[in-house]
Amino acid sequence: MKVERITLNDIFYLFVIAIVIIPGFITVYTPIYRIGLLIQCIVAILGMIWMLLKCDFRQHLYYWLIVLFYGMQVLSTLIKNTEYFAVGLREVLCSIGIVSIVYIFVIQHNKRALKNLSRLFVLYILLGFVQIAFAKNIFPQTIGRITQNIYFLGVQNQIAQQLVPMLGFVVVFSFLKKSKRSIGIFILMILSILTEGISGSSTGLLATILLFILYLLYNTWIEKKLSVANVSIGYVGINFIFIFVQSVISIPFIANFIQNVLKKDITFSNRTVIWSKALLNFVSSPFWGMGRQEGKSVMTFYAINQWDVDTSYSAHNVLIQTLVESGIIGIIPIIVLFVVVARKYRCIYDDRMRIVLISVMAIMFTFLTEAYDLTYLFVFLGLICNFIDLDYTLKQS
């Protein structure tokens, strides 16, 4: 096995990236976390200024659609949830900061930065596994409606928000660089599956298994079947059948799958009630939405049972969460964004681009039962939009 030498420049990039993309456990340590958030905001502002001055607007329409989407969310927050405006603006800038730094690395053909981004993600994944397997109680617990352990990459249901996209990026980097699958990536995937399994997160476990299977079976047949359009339509369809319909009526096949395979109750631990309530909130403000909310809690109701004793909830589904917070007007940039990505995808005749898409599928799977931020999805769709730049960069000697 070839061991690559790490230079001072590599250490510099690792440091810069690490203070922008921080592991979930940092949220417990408020002063450090605030510094991290401030740095992300600064990176976002500098990134937008750089893109405005250095890049052709039409060529990078995808990037500006992301900025427009978040801008619409901020405007909606100002109109509908004024007291949360400042925090909402900070949250938006943090997301743009992460998207910007990866996007600029790719279009600038910065191989060293991308290599160290992959290295950092490998380190995070390994540390996440070691901590959860051998030092499970090293961090303090969160005390709220449910007492949960803090792990290196976040609390139980939040690990997948970082672990799945980080694993996906390492998969993409390795495959495009070597043009073949790697035993090392399979080992990393198994460790990721074990991490999610030990944490007890069904969503994260199934998402990592899905990524593992797609990577294992990745062949010409899968390459021909996958496309941005198919994945987008499939995602909306699954949401409608598996979530929206199940919220209203009980489909026996789905109910059996939930109970026997996922080992969950028919309500997904009260999620069907939450989805229904969230949809009612969307109907009450369909155009502008409700704006960004603290903790993404877009509804309030008293639901006490064996799983829950709280009154404040996120939508526990990214599609619903985005609809409720952004409304129809705010979600238009997202629709245009997917159209732009789909058109770019069709124009690039390179089947290896599907390796990026299988990571997108794993990320979107985590969106079905959790209200994760769209940040990492935007990062990966940006890799598709700039696949030629990405591939060229990773192939440099």
Query: Which of 266, 362, 190 has its CA nearest to residue 198?
Result: 190
pLDDT at 51: 96
* pLDDT above 50 (res 306): no
Query: Which of 352, 328, 345, 347 has its CA nearest to residue 382?
Result: 345
Average pLDDT value for residue range 145-160: 81
Task: Point out which residues pair with 299 in neighbouring strands.
Answer: 313
pLDDT at 346: 85
Instruction: Please state the φ and ψ torsions of residue 2, each to the nearest 5 degrees.
Output: -80, 130
* pLDDT above 60 (res 309): no
CA 312/CA 295 separation, integer angstroms: 9
Residue 84, token pair as written in the block: 């949360």
pLDDT in tens, 28-40: 888 889 999 999 9
* Distances from the Cα of 322 to the Cα of 39, 72, 95, 342, angstroms: 25, 12, 14, 20
Element (H, E) at 108: none
If one compares 277 and 133, the residue with the highest pLDDT of the two is: 133
pLDDT at 28: 80
Helix/strand/coil (H/E/C) assignment for every residue in 318-338: HHHHHHHHHHHHHHHHHHHHH
Residue 1: pLDDT band (50, 70, 90) is: very low
What amino acid is encoded at 64 in this protein?
W
Residue 154, token pair as written in the block: 């976040």
What amino acid is encoded at 396 in this protein?
Q
pLDDT in tens, 364-381: 999 988 889 999 999 999
Residue 206, token pair as written in the block: 């199934």
For the chain, list the strands marked E by DSSP.
150-151, 154-155, 299-300, 312-313
DSSP state letters, 241-304: IIIIHHHHS--HHHHHIIIIIS---TTTTTHHHHHHHHHHHHHHSTTT-----GGG--EE----
pLDDT at 292: 93
pLDDT in tens, 42-90: 999 999 999 999 888 889 999 999 999 999 999 999 999 999 999 999 9
- Per DSSP, the three-state class of 144 is coil
Q: What is the pTM for the complete model shown? A: 0.90
- Per DSSP, the three-state class of 198 is helix
Task: Point out which residues pair with 42 in neighbouring strands.
Answer: none
* Distances from the Cα of 190 to the Cα of 158, 163, 209, angstroms: 19, 12, 9
pLDDT in tens, 235-292: 988 888 766 665 555 556 666 665 665 555 555 556 777 887 888 888 888 898 999 9
CA 217/CA 211 separation, integer angstroms: 10
Element (H, E) at 46: helix 30-54
The helices-and-strands tally (H runs, E runs) of the chain is 17, 4
pLDDT in tens, 243-257: 666 555 555 666 666
CA 328/CA 324 separation, integer angstroms: 9
Instruction: Please state the φ and ψ torsions of residue 272, each to the nearest 5 degrees.
Output: -60, -35
On whether the CB atoms of residues 212 and 168 are closer than 8 A, the answer is no
Q: How high is the mean pLDDT of the chain?
A: 86
CA 262/CA 280 separation, integer angstroms: 27
On whether the CB atoms of residues 364 and 391 are closer than 8 A, the answer is no
